[in-house]
Amino acid sequence: MRRALDPIDQLLLLDPGGRGIDRFFRRGAALAAARALRRARRVLITTGFALGPDMPETDGPPGAAVLGRALRRLGARVRYVTDPVIARPLEAALTALGEPAAIELFPEAEAEVAAREILGRIAPTHLVAIERPGRAGDGVYRSARGEPVGAWNRAIDGLFLVRSRATTIGVGDGGNEIGMGRVSRRTLAAAGIPLRIVSTVKVDHLVVAGVSNWGAYGIVAQLRRLSGLDLLHTAADERRMIEHCVGAGAVDGITRRREPTVDGVPLDAHAGIVELMRTLGGRR
């Protein structure tokens, strides 16, 4: 008899966008990622998906900020790398949590050269991508609608393609993010994901969730279990982060409107997910 789903996995499996994530959901992935990060020393987190020249999504930066705060409290040195258009909402999310904004911009140099420079200078023990575009098989970065978005999203996935000793973790919800190379194309096609958008970039640990922010929160909920420390943010923090991100220019990735929603889901629902994780996170 198959073991019942962990309560955190049950929340991550919620699929408000109807993307069919039950087909490529990975049981126990948030816990495995948390175990890999539990004693991380130097963590480099990348996030952000820009749909246009001034259209960073509200999904991603809040998750990065919450995970980064948890890891810093566990003793890791945490830095963030992203694009200029993403830096503003990411800084806003970090500020909403009272966190230092240790953000640097990925250079506009050739991807491998830029990646090697950053990896050599920071020497991360762990690399984490949360809702970050990963190149498809033809090298193009695409939105869920199949639109090319490489003009606004630098080739940060190069960090995950250069050989290094870092443990790699990816969080995504749509098939086109860093890490989705861990899922077979047949599986993604069965879920209704257009293969032209599918990222080929692989990671050691892939966390799939109905909303990428939730995937990051799920990792933190599992870190909370493992450490016994109250690392997860509150519903009030969630509201404040998303509102700050919108104030910094972020848009809902589905509606493409500058409003305090994420992937078409109202703010109250996201706050509710956080409260459920806080309530259920101690159960197994």
pLDDT of amino acid 4: 78
Q: Which stretches of the chain score pLDDT less than 50?
A: 284
Strand order in the sheet with 167-172: 103-105, 77-82, 42-47, 126-130, 167-172, 205-208
List the chain domain ranges: 7-280
User: How does pLDDT run across 33-66, given as a tens digit for each residue?
Assistant: 999 999 999 999 999 999 999 999 999 999 999 9
User: How does pLDDT run across 169-195, given as a tens digit for each residue?
Assistant: 999 999 999 999 999 999 999 999 999
What is the number of other CB atoms lying within 10 angstroms of the CB of residue 79? 18
pLDDT of amino acid 109: 79
Exposure of 276 by Cβ count < 10 A (0-12 exposed, 13-18 middle, 19+ buried)? middle
Q: Which CATH superfamily is domain 7-280 in?
A: TON_0340 (3.90.1640.20)
pLDDT of amino acid 284: 47
Whole-model pTM: value is 0.97
pLDDT of amino acid 80: 98
What is the number of other CB atoms lying within 10 angstroms of the CB of residue 126? 23
Pairwise CA distance, residues 152 & 150, whole Å: 5
Amino acid at 125: T
Is the CB of residue 131 less than 8 Å from the CB of residue 66? no
The sign of the dihedral angle between the CA atoms of 214, 200, 166, 84 is: negative
| Angstrom distances, CA of residue 258 to CA of 65, 89, 220, 243, 244 | 20, 12, 27, 10, 11
**CB-side neighbour CA atoms (13 Å) of 141:** 22
Packing angle, helices 267-280 and 235-247, rounded to 10: 150
pLDDT of amino acid 5: 87
pLDDT of amino acid 134: 98
pLDDT of amino acid 157: 97
User: Residue 182 has which token pair?
Assistant: 């861990």
Is the CB of residue 191 less than 8 Å from the CB of residue 210? no
